[in-house]
Amino acid sequence: MVKKNACVFISGYGSNLRSLILSSRNHTFPVSIKLIVCNNKNAKGVLLAKKNSIPCLIVNTKKRNFENIILLEIRKKNISLICLAGYMKIISKKFIRNFGKKIINIHPSLLPKFRGLNTFKRIIDENEKKTGCSVHHVDEKLDNGKIIIKKIFFIKKNDDIVSLKKKTQKLEHVAFSEAIIKLYRYN
Ligand code: GRF
């Protein structure tokens, strides 16, 4: 099986990156992670890149041309899938157009509900009965593109922000890889 080249964008802890690295070790998984892009040099996820010998590009988003630097590297590595795994920066319309291939994102809610930040607090405040995570295509609007996969769980009375995050991330670590498998099986 010829795997496609993927790039994972991160900003923080990198637990989703870790689950993708683990999945990509399976020879039937459709992509191989060839590049990690991070906009925070102190992110824990950067250590994962080093540990797994995956090239990691640290970008300074204060520089005007930082997306061009990313695009250059992505072209060099023949990347055909970008996975946004906790990348806390909005991807520009220009970048989406210039890349021209698949970009997917993982979000900790059942989209279209609770787009944007502070998801868990808003879910608790709204007294939601269930929540989960969504993996979706990235388009020019925030957390908006076509859904690839969603995973759901029911919220218990004693759940709080911390427990919701823990339960959601557990689902995310399965959902992201499943979404990638689905993406290449049906497209
Ligand atoms: C995840 O919960 C994801 O849904 C959100 O950012 C978080 C990243 O976590 N977009 P991690 O860095 O993968 O641990």
Please tell me the distance between residue 10's alpha carbon and the centre of ligand 1 in angstroms: 8
Query: d(Cα 54, Cα 39) in Å, to the nearest integer?
Result: 16
In testing the pocket of ligand 1, which one of 106, 110, 165, 167 has its CB within 8 Å of the most ligand atoms? 106
- The answer on pLDDT for 187 being more than 60 is no
In testing the pocket of ligand 1, which one of 10, 16, 151 has its CB within 8 Å of the most ligand atoms? 16
136-163 pLDDT tens trace: 999 988 888 999 999 999 999 999 999 9
Task: Indicate the length of the chain as a whole number.
Answer: 187
Mean pLDDT, the chain, rounded, equals: 96
Which tokens go with 130? 């269930």
Which tokens go with 106? 């993982």
4-35 pLDDT tens trace: 999 999 999 999 999 999 999 999 999 999 99
- The answer on pLDDT for 119 being more than 80 is yes
- Which residue owns the Cα nearest ligand 1 atom 1? 86
User: What mean pLDDT comes out for the span 65-73?
Assistant: 97
